Structure 1
């Protein structure tokens, strides 16, 4: 609104300079982009991210199978398998040597992270495995994927908004520099005779 008001003010103003009109148009274009392009970019990024993540969720749900593992003993070190790496709050949970059944029915034994705060021999806990029976992390929940997509959309919208505003400021700064350069040249022509009697006659 402020940009539109500024553009209207400079439209037929006798004191208007070319840089004033350009600056007003730049402000108007930036306002339009902030109102239209920024939300559109955020929405497109969010939808794209959600589509990709939901597809990853479906693939993970197809490739990962839930099972139940039995604790054999406490492990001396953390799991070494890439699919069983611990992260976040899982670092506070104990690593144990456990036994579980692979999707093909064969028994497996390995070092995994439990879902319990404490694990004693004989305790049972849920575990996810891949098609080969190796312990892996649980598949991503669809709601978690949507949250990540929402964050991605908001981030893209903010980045685009910042780029629009930075571009506007750079253009305005360049216009102000040109304006001052013209004033300096004009003053250089008039300045030596300023205040003298008969100047301009």
Structure 2
């Protein structure tokens, strides 16, 4: 392994009689890949985060809580020892009235042992269909941040890996040029023994 000496910043852009064209090209490739990695990653992350945030905000705005009632008594599950579990949830039929006044039915998970007519809160969309509980603003911010970070990192990986591959190719070419130069000038020097 060759001794490289101390690291000198920006040496490829400084005036130097030993600087080759390949050094300048490699410097611009590394710089361009770095800039493209940062810009693409940040832009993709912000776009993805905003998109997720808007989608979750639309979900929150479109859903509303409605009080529904259990249609019939839900039996408590019986375990081996003959005791039911008070925290268990089972599927049950429920009924509610939609915003347009029509009666609706559906199935959700309710507490085991709930009697007929037990009120439960469900979430519906503008058409009165059952939807899941909307995420809170803080949960939406967390989700959008996480998805934005993942999208940004994924997008940034493309120019980063491309820059590494191009730099590796330039380095292989430079080493091949060195081999050619050494082969040509080595014969002039003669035996070194």
CA contact (8 A) 2:49 2:144 kept: yes
Distance 1:57 1:136, change over 3 A: closer
Q: Deviations over 1:52-93 (max 9, x none)?
A: 4323432x22xx551222251348xxxxxxxxxxxxxxxx73
> What TM-score, normalized by structure 2, do the two folds share?
0.69
Deviates more, 1:148-157 or 1:129-138: 129-138
- Residue 158 of structure 1, CA deviation: 1.1
List runs of 5+ in structure 2 lacking aligned partners: 1-7, 76-87
What CA RMSD, in Å, does the superposition of the two structures yield over aligned residues? Answer: 3.1
Tell me whether 1:98 sits opposite 2:97 in the alignment.
Answer: no
State how 1:144-183 maps to structure 2 within 5 Å: 144-183=139-178
CA contact (8 A) 1:41 1:157 kept: yes
- Residue 150 of structure 1, CA deviation: 1.6
Distance 2:58 2:95 in 1: 31
Distance 1:110 1:45 in 2: 34
Whose relative contact order is higher, 1 or 2, with alpha carbons under 8 Å and at least 6 apart? 2
Return the match for 2:115 from 121, 143, 149.
Answer: 121
Higher helix share: 1
CA contact (8 A) 2:97 2:104 kept: yes
CA contact (8 A) 1:6 1:24 kept: no
Could you say what secondary structure the match of 1:29 adopts? helix
Distance 2:96 2:165 in 1: 62
List runs of 5+ in structure 1 lacking aligned partners: 76-91
1:70 equivalent in structure 2: 70
